[in-house]
Every structure is written in C-alpha cells, then in structure tokens.
Structure 1
Amino acid sequence: MAKVVFQVALEPFDCAGCFKKMEEQFTRVIGITSVNAFPQLGRIRIEFKEKEVSPKQLETIIVNSGYQVELKKLT
C-alpha cells in the first residue's frame, strides 16, 4: 500500500463542500483505501493499492474535476 499527498491550488477550495465532493469522487475508484481532505491546507491525502491504481491516475481525477495540482508527494 502507498500514500500520496496532493497540494491543490487553494483558490477553488473556498468551502468544505468542494473537498467533500472531491473525497466522494475518489471513494468510487477501485484500489483506493482511504481519502483524507484538508480544506484549510488545500491538501488531499490518499492511500491506495499500487497494483490497482497509479498516482498519475489519481492526479488525473483531480485535474479532470477542474482543479490544479501544484505538488505531489509519495510516501
């Protein structure tokens, strides 16, 4: 299992509802075991199974949702 933290441009996340919507999108993806959003920091932390989903696929979900990824950190 791996973890990735995405730093998302703060501008689009002006409400908790925006982050809730993002969390819900990730919970539908096979291979994701945990999603934690931190609206005040503009971060989304995702735990996932590397054999089922890649960090690039996760980043694509964020970008396709209309948000900009500023930084990605694998842990």
Structure 2
Amino acid sequence: MSKAVYQLEPLTCPSCIKKIETTLDKIAGIETAKVMFNSSKVKAEFDDSKIEASMIEATIKNLGYPVLSTKVSSD
C-alpha cells in the first residue's frame, strides 16, 4: 500500500472536493481519497500493484485541477 499527497493550485469552491473525491473513489486500486480544501491538497492511499501515483495525478489534472507537486511514500 502506498500513500501520495498532491499539492494543487488553491481550490476556490467546496464543490471541488466532492468532484475530486467522487472521481477518485471510483478508480480500482484507490483505497481512500481525501481533499483538504484549506490547504488545497489531495491525500490518496492506493494499491501500487493496481495503480500508479502518476495515474492518480493525471486523473486530477483531467478534472481541471493543476497539480503543483506530488509526494509518494510506501508502507
């Protein structure tokens, strides 16, 4: 199991949270996805044998949210 934190550009609306979390929750291999509105970060816990951190980043970008940085750690 791996964890990643994606730093986004500042989020401007609370509905962004639901849009990102709902989309990520539907992807196979992602265990949890949590958006922190105040810090504009997405924390994801995922099975790295099923999905890569870069694929999660690409999904966030495809939703229209630029990712400024990514930090990945493995348990």
Distance 2:55 2:28 in 1: 11
Spell out the pairing of 1:34-49 with structure 2 (5 A cutoff): 34-49=32-47
- Which residue in the other structure is 1:3 paired with? 3
The gaps in structure 1 that reach 5 residues or longer are none
Q: 1:19: Cα distance to partner?
A: 1.2
- Which residue in the other structure is 2:17 paired with? 19
Q: 1:54 aligns with which of 52, 55, 75?
A: 52
The gaps in structure 2 that reach 5 residues or longer are none
Percent sequence identity over matched residues? 27
TM-score (norm 2): 0.94
Report the secondary structure of 1:30's partner residue. Answer: coil
Q: 1:32: Cα distance to partner?
A: 0.4
Report the secondary structure of 1:45's partner residue. Answer: strand
Distance 1:64 1:54 in 2: 16
Distance 2:26 2:32 in 1: 11
Distance 2:9 2:59 in 1: 14
- The one-letter code sitting in structure 2 at the alignment partner of 1:59 is E
